[in-house]
């Protein structure tokens, strides 16, 4: 499925872009340097953010099995990578198709809801510590969107 931007360009096939469409395109282009910057920050800090989240989670829930921790690690990496890509390309649909549909099934299958309520709280805290407020606002709505889809 095409992203909102792609869809707009498809619809404008043989005509000029309308003023609001042009505005949308402009904001996409103007926002690119900042989004690319946040994307690179996330790529660099991924290991730290995820390891620290898992370590804190282990302290708060010492009885978690190795299998659950491994799943959690895999899910956090997927969360960060897909959210980063969705942010970079401004394509939220990508989150749903590539991440939420997959992870929500595993969360149900392994009964991870209560673990993830805590894991996401820690993860959000870690993000706040690794990103400046101006960077955080780019990625946080996407993370929260996944959190809401998985936990409510």
Partner 1 sequence: MVTSASSPSVSFDPYTPVLANYYTPSAYLQGDLESGLLQSRHGERLLALPEALLRGIYSGLEYETGQAARLVLRNCGRMWGKEFFRRFAQELSDYYQKPLAELEMGIFLQNLKQAWKTHGWGLIEIDWTYKDQGVLVVSIRNSPFAALTPAHFKRPMGFLEAGLLGAWFSQLTGQDLLCVQTTSEALGAKSNLFVVSSAARLKDGEAWVDSGLSHDQVLEKLLQPNQAG
Residue numbers of the site for partner 1 (CB under 8 A)?
Answer: 1, 43, 46-47, 50-51, 54-55, 66, 69-70, 72-74, 77-78, 81, 94, 97-98, 101-103, 105-106, 109-110
Q: How far is the CB of 20 from partner 1 (least distance, A)?
A: 27
Smaller CB separation from partner 1, 3 or 21: 3
Of the pair 72, 142, the CB lying nearest partner 1 is at 72
DSSP string, 28-92: HHHHHHHHHHHHHHHHHHHHHHHHHHHHHHHHH-TT--HHHHHHHHHHHHHHHHHHHHHHHHT-H
As measured in angstroms, the least distance from the Cβ of 101 to partner 1 is 7
End-to-end CA distance of the chain: 25
Nearer to partner 1, 48 or 114 (CB): 48
Question: Which residue pairs, CB below 8 angstroms and at least 24 apart, start in 12-19?
Answer: none
Residue 15 Cβ vs partner 1, minimum distance, rounded to whole Å: 23
Tokens (6 digits) for 19: 């003023």
Q: Find the shortest distance in angstroms from Cβ 130 to partner 1.
A: 15
């Amino acid at each position: 499925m095409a992203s909102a931007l792609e869809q707009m360009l498809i619809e404008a096939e043989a005509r000029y872009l309308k003023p609001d469409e042009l505005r949308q395109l402009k904001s996409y282009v103007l926002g690119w340097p900042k989004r690319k910057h946040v994307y690179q920050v996330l790529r660099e800090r991924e290991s730290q953010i995820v390891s620290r989240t898992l370590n804190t989670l282990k302290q708060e829930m010492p009885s978690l099995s190795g299998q659950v921790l491994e799943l959690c690690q895999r899910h956090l990496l997927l969360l960060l990578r897909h959210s980063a890509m969705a942010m970079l390309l401004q394509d939220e649909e990508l989150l749903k198709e590539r991440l939420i549909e997959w992870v929500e099934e595993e969360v149900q299958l392994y009964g991870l809801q209560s673990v993830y309520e805590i894991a996401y709280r820690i993860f959000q805290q870690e993000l706040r510590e690794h990103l400046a407020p101006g960077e955080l606002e780019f990625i946080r709505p996407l993370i929260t969107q996944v959190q809401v889809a998985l936990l409510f």
